[in-house]
Structure 1
């Protein structure tokens, strides 16, 4: 790098470190993470070209052409990911937000000597941080994209990190060498592959991004026949490559709704009296709706009448909830499901449960079933994972 870029990078590192310290985002229980990030900063694993959403499309930001822009993308904010690969106009790989990477590795409860499977190498940054803690030769990482795997191997070697990168599908193929103490996934799955549980020793820990929102830490039971644990925080990651890649929320929501809505008339209409602002502002509500109606994609907009919302299931069902004066909301719906009513019913249920926050939720995985629950796995309400309707919770 040139001295100019070096200075920008050093300033970016310091700015992000200070921002995280100011928000108490460096975890007290894992002080090693701040040291690891300082020793292995994200710029060591960033490609020379990043991508920025300009409101219409992803445009390249090259380090050689626009060094300030490149550093700005990389060190914009602790909650901002840097897009590193675009395929078909949509992001297909990224350097995850520093705050989220730190939060997930803190949830992993990683100790020196642990054997770690890092599922989804990407550029190799989380692999490097895990190896900094676990030790040389203790981390194996799997990456389905051969080009990304080769890139990560090069960056890890240049940084002096002793970790193995295997090219393959991490949802199906398990690295050889015995069970792992920790499994750390960097791409989102709706259902946990049972191979991850089988690959983890009893008492071991699996941390993964769950669907479109949230990450979870599971502990494998003593008999190895289940894994269960709590939601740890909010996170939005690239999905498993076996799923359709999604555009940014604002663009995907509008475009996705228009595609599902079509041009035909609504099939049902009714009026409810409700302020839809919490759909925009309350992340505990948004998470609860994600649990109860996992395939419901919604966006919001605000005008002089209040907050309106547009909901679809990515297939055939849609709802437009239009704010009117006096907290009235006109709900137009179409398709085989009344997905707007499903969303409102799930909202009512969340209210009846006492408005649980995301940390009140957990996930349990067995060979034959997976479910989310709130408050308690045995006695609390629970929702099967993988269904397509927002039926009332069981229990």
Structure 2
């Protein structure tokens, strides 16, 4: 397949059909689909993308392999396209089409709105926001990387999108054109920066990914000093660029033998696919990072706390599952205790959770009700799981 316009049209068609088949278009925001039709994803993709070959990230150049490049750009609804590496780790991407659509739905943009986007990246999301805001609205997008900012600004100008791209630190917002009706971040944060609250009009919304699992939509109170709102969806986003790199499981283990091993009788399948459980474990064990995989023998997992403690859970061919743990903490034991506590509390669903940023700066996630429900403080960064 050659890299001519007809081929790109076919890739776009397949991507749209996949969104249809998965029911990923937001029903309450039909404008999202219209905006994506008018501003195709490939227009904003750089000529070099990065693909994981099972061992390392390899460059995929549009001029060398146009078909593979196009397939990466227009992959499935739940596939991101990595556009930049820093220290051999993804640092920027074209987010999954389904997640972009879902977050745009959560932002609840109306024509005429003034919008601040944090994390310009390729400029695609900013262009979609501007399409909705229209000629009476205004979009400002802040990018920390000078190269990305320059490239995105040029692409946006070519498409006619009315977006002002500014070079700066997204945690500071962008005061010169504040206040905004909506603020949306395209990268994950551990805490909501105070500037975001101060630069949002009372009654306006702030939509942002929180840590490594979900994203919230908070509404700023009438006093302009606090905000509260609900979890709106699940997604994994790049962290802010100044987030310290988290040690890997391999680095924490450092080839040490386990201090303790025991057999597990628990069905581990929910640990791999139950989003409600994963959310509960994230709240209960904010410093514990884990990932799972499935092979012919069952579910396997790796855990670590970023410092000294680690664990592996291995499914064996004979049907048994063994937990191996090292360091001062018994992470599998902690995980099982948190799992049992979640079940005992009624297995509260993830969409029953919200977040509050109080006037005094306190931030916490709550379940059920922000005043009377159980709450978890928003505190230390946790990072993201890597090999």
TM-score in terms of structure 2 length? 0.92
Cα contact 2:179–2:201 (8 A) shared by 1: yes
- Residues 1:350 and 2:350 aligned together: no
Task: State the superposition RMSD in angstroms.
Answer: 2.2
**2:385 aligned partner:** none
**1:186 aligned partner:** 186
**1:250 aligned partner:** none
- Residues 1:370 and 2:363 aligned together: yes
Cα contact 2:230–2:353 (8 A) shared by 1: yes
Moved more, 179-188 or 295-304: 295-304
Moved more, 358-367 or 71-80: 358-367
**What displacement does 1:268 show?**
4.1
Residue aligned with 1:212, SS: coil
**2:324 aligned partner:** 332
Moved over 6 A (4+): 324-328
Structure 2 Cα separation of the partners of residues 362 and 327 of structure 1: 39
Structure 1 residues 117 and 314: alpha-carbon distance in aligned structure 2, compared to 1, 3 A threshold: same
Structure 2 Cα separation of the partners of residues 241 and 153 of structure 1: 20
- Residues 1:384 and 2:384 aligned together: no
Structure 2 Cα separation of the partners of residues 200 and 350 of structure 1: 35
- Residues 1:234 and 2:229 aligned together: no
Residue aligned with 1:242, SS: coil
Structure 1 Cα separation of the partners of residues 311 and 348 of structure 2: 25
Unpaired runs of 5+ residues, structure 1, are: 247-254, 390-395
Structure 1 residues 228 and 301: alpha-carbon distance in aligned structure 2, compared to 1, 3 A threshold: same
**What displacement does 1:198 show?**
1.1
**What displacement does 1:112 show?**
0.6
- Residues 1:256 and 2:255 aligned together: no
Residue aligned with 2:126, SS: helix
Moved more, 221-230 or 323-332: 323-332
Residue aligned with 2:248, SS: helix
- Residues 1:122 and 2:121 aligned together: yes
Residue aligned with 1:60, SS: strand
**What displacement does 1:15 show?**
1.0
**2:274 aligned partner:** 282
Which of 298, 319, 329 is matched with 2:311 structurally? 319
Cα contact 2:173–2:199 (8 A) shared by 1: no
Q: Any idea what the Cα deviations from partners look like across 1:81-109, whole Å, max 9, x if unmatched?
A: 11111122111111111110110010011
Unpaired runs of 5+ residues, structure 2, are: 383-387
TM-score in terms of structure 1 length? 0.90
Which of 284, 291, 304 is matched with 1:299 structurally? 291
**What displacement does 1:46 show?**
0.7
Structure 2 Cα separation of the partners of residues 231 and 174 of structure 1: 25
Structure 1 Cα separation of the partners of residues 339 and 381 of structure 2: 17
Between the two proteins, the alignment pairs up a number of residues equal to 380
**What displacement does 1:20 show?**
1.2
